[in-house]
Amino acid sequence: MPDAFNMDNIPFSLLNEDEQALLGKNLDIGYFQQGEAIITAGEKPEGLFIILKGRVSESEAADKGEEGGGQHIFVHYENEDYFGGWSAVRGTAIHNFVADEETICHILPTRTLLDLIASNAQFADYFQQNLAVKSEIVAQHGGNQDMAEFMLARITDATVREPLVVEQGTSIKQATELMRQHKSDCLLARRGGRYGMVTGTDLLDAVVINEKPLDTDIIDVASFRLITIDHEDYLFNALVMMTQQQIERVVVMDGQSMVGVVELTDVLSYFSSHSHVIGLRIERAGTIEQLREAAQGLNELIKALISAGVKIRFTMDLLAAMNGRIISKLFDLIIPADMQPHVCLIVMGSEGRGEQIMKTDQDNALIYRENLVWPGMQETLNRFSENLISFGFPPCPGNIMVSNPEWVNSVGDWTQHLSDWADTCEGNAQMNLAIAVDAKPVAGNEALFKVARNWFLRHLRNNDVFFSHFARAAVEFDTPLTFFGNLKDKGQLDIKKGGIFPIVHGVRTLALEHRILKTNTFQRIETLVEQKVMQAEHGSDLSEALALFIQLRLRQQIRRAEEQEDGLDPTPNQIDLQQLNKLERDLLRDALHVVKGFKKHLATRYHLGG
């Protein structure tokens, strides 16, 4: 092929040899002067344009009614980028594409493009401009497959054990004999249509500690509160669940029917990484020192997972569970046992959402029962915060931690704070509120927290003015799509302002309005989709966009942290565009498009025009 057309770039690399030959045979080359329109909105484009050299900007067709006619440029395209595919498929262009500098493009005629779309389904998917699908294709096509697939194993991929099922009326002695026979260390006891779990430990406890006779019905010692997981779910989630619930087996369900049991050892045999080893060390820590050692192993684990290309969501889930365990273990060690039922420790902000990966700061607070008398409370809490800092959770710059008495409140005061913040439009109050509505209880008496939360959600019902104010922050920062043009001189992008915050905050507002109790942004999106507040495809696009932002940011954070002597990243939210490859830039651009659309949606919904 004598053309300088690079077939290695996605989506062209998806084509097979014959299709690539067809593509090569039909390419033309066009030359465009600076300022010349390559595609004009409303007209039929010639085909798909792939830039050989130069720069092209995409802008909205100027509305006739609009004053000033100032065109808004969305995106710049550069070398090897392609554009116009969607317009070509659709028949008419909706945006203007203008050469920013002299540009030479390969032109793939619409007819050939359509032929290729008809013959290659993956290639066709790529032109649907659907971020979720695109990421999927990239993931399938990209490297690092082995590890990712390995970590993405489904429940059914692991050994799902055939459970030993006994009927009601079986005695403890018979049951134990059966277990010995089947070399099983747990069984399921059936009473009517329900199953209860009995483990070896349960039997031991029943006979030795509670001194029950050997002919006791097995039903009496079974636990009917089963922790279940769907058979299609990820094995990783089973591990997260076991870590969270401190159990060693989960029951696998297919809809309403039981498939079997997955045991911790089986899951572990799949995950050779030391994630669970750390989990076990956390569990077994009897002193603060032991706990600290365990906590410090987490950063290494994160790096291992990230470099192995594990999907960011699973990493986050796992870490959120781990961090939660660390904090609640520390709570157990520091807070006197007689006080624990009267207080509730909550984590907020990114930790409350379970989206913290590198430990960036600690946002936590304590809620206590009205009229609680606890003389040394503040000193104990100070000690708690200090220890967390020594574990590697940096102090919160806004001083939102339990060592600050402002964040230690009785239930009544806490609800009062929430409603005060909701009634003020002042920035600080809005920020506090945004942090507080992501709160999640991690230790102590959860009921205290739930009372306050439920009261607050009722308080907000139908308060349109509040939501309108609250949502405004999400659209405040401009989404920086035009950055791409100036890769050379201005290759930095604040991904938090431009991408992460608008999604997180917008979703938070929607979740608050629909009284969704989940705090994780991905779960909030899923619930919003289930409640039909959001369309399924928008939901998955938003999730993918957010995951991409977090992943890109994380990779650069790790790199920068390693370069710094103190191991801390000075600019945690910057994305250096030059570090990204062509594909990542493509995806980033699409993801920012998604954010833009979402902000538009928020503006309409909460009347944020102007």
Partner 1 sequence: MIIPRSIRRYKERKEHREGPWAELFEPYKGDEVVSLDCETTSLDVKKAEILSIGAVRIKGRKVITSDRLDIKLKPPASLSGDSIKIHKLRAQDLVDGIELEDALKQVLEFVGNRPILGYYVNFDVRVLDKFLRPQLGFGLPNKAVELSHVYHDIIKWKHVGGDVDLRFDTIAGKLDIPILERHTALGDAITVALMYVRLKYGETPKNIY
Binding residues for partner 1 (CB under 8 A): 2-4, 25-34, 52-53, 102, 104, 107, 109
Instruction: Compare residues 29 and 204 and give the one whose CB is closer to partner 1.
Output: 29
Give the dihedral of Cα atoms 567, 326, 321, 393; nearest 10 deg.
-30
| Element spanning 386, H or E | helix 377-390
Q: Which is nearer to partner 1, 29 or 121 (CB)?
A: 29
Residue closer to partner 1 (CB basis): 33 or 257? 33
User: Residue 78 CB, nearest distance to partner 1 (Å)?
Assistant: 14
Q: Which amino acid would we find at residue 12? A: F
Tokens at 56, concatenated: 């092209």
CA separation, residue 32 to residues 45, 157, 197 (Å):
15, 54, 72
Tell me the closest approach of the beta carbon of residue 7 to partner 1, in angstroms: 14
How far is it, in rounded angstroms, from Cα 401 to Cα 389?
11
For the beta sheet containing 73-77, the strands, ordered from the edge strand earlier in sequence to the opposite edge, are 37-39, 95-99, 56-60, 73-77
Cis bond before residue 480 (omega within 30° of 0): no
Closer residue to partner 1, CB minimum distance, 53 or 496: 53
Where is 325: in which H helix or E strand?
Answer: helix 312-334
Task: Tell me if 402 sits within 8 A of 345, measured CB to CB.
Answer: yes
Determine the Cα–Cα distance for residues 261 and 164; give it in Å rounded to an integer.
Answer: 10
Nearest CA to 281 out of 262, 260, 302, 295 is that of: 295
Q: What are the tokens at 34?
A: 């600076």
Cα dihedral 564, 569, 574, 575 in deg (nearest 10): 60
CA distance 83 to 94: 12
Tell me how far, at minimum, the Cβ of 41 lies from partner 1, in Å.
21
Decide whether 107 or 241 has the Cβ nearer to partner 1.
107
Nearer to partner 1, 26 or 378 (CB): 26
Tokens for 20? 């690539």
Rounded CA separation 248/185 (Å): 11
Please work out, in degrees rounded to the nearest 5, the angle formed at the alpha carbon of residue 533 by the alpha carbons of 527 and 537: 80
217 DSSP assignment: B
In this complex, which beta carbon is closest to partner 1, that of residue 28 or of residue 205? Answer: 28
Strand segments, DSSP code E, in 482-603 are 492-494, 574-576
What number of other Cβ atoms are within 10 A of residue 464's Cβ?
10
Instruction: Kindly give the pairing relationship between strand 73-77 and strand 37-39.
Output: unpaired
- The set of long-range contacts for 487-490, using a CB threshold of 8 Å and a minimum separation of 24, is 487/78, 487/577, 487/578
Cβ-based nearer residue to partner 1, 7 or 227: 7
Smallest distance from partner 1 to CB 89, Å = 19
Query: β-pairing, 186-191 with 165-167?
Result: parallel
Q: How far is the CB of 487 from partner 1 (least distance, A)?
A: 18
In the complex, the smallest distance separating the C-beta of residue 53 from partner 1, rounded to whole angstroms, is: 6
Q: Least distance to partner 1 from the beta carbon of 99, Å? A: 11
Q: What is the DSSP string of 475-516?
A: GTSPP-GGGGGGTTT--EEEHIIIIIHHHHHHHHHHHHHTT-
Neighbours of 325 (CB within 10 A): 23
**Position of tokens 């019905």?**
217
Give min distance, CB of 1 to partner 1, in A: 9
**Nearest distance in Å: CB 81, partner 1:** 15
Nearer to partner 1, 4 or 61 (CB): 4
Identify which of residues 38 and 302 has a Cβ nearer to partner 1 in the complex: 38
Least distance to partner 1 from the beta carbon of 86, Å?
22
Task: Identify which of residues 47 and 324 has a Cβ nearer to partner 1 in the complex.
Answer: 47
In the complex, the smallest distance separating the C-beta of residue 4 from partner 1, rounded to whole angstroms, is: 5
Smallest gap from Cβ 488 to partner 1, in A, equals: 15
CA atoms within 13 A on the CB side of 20: 15
Between 2 and 255, CB nearer to partner 1? 2
Closest approach, Cβ 70 to partner 1, in A, equals 26
Pick 2 or 70: Cβ nearer partner 1: 2
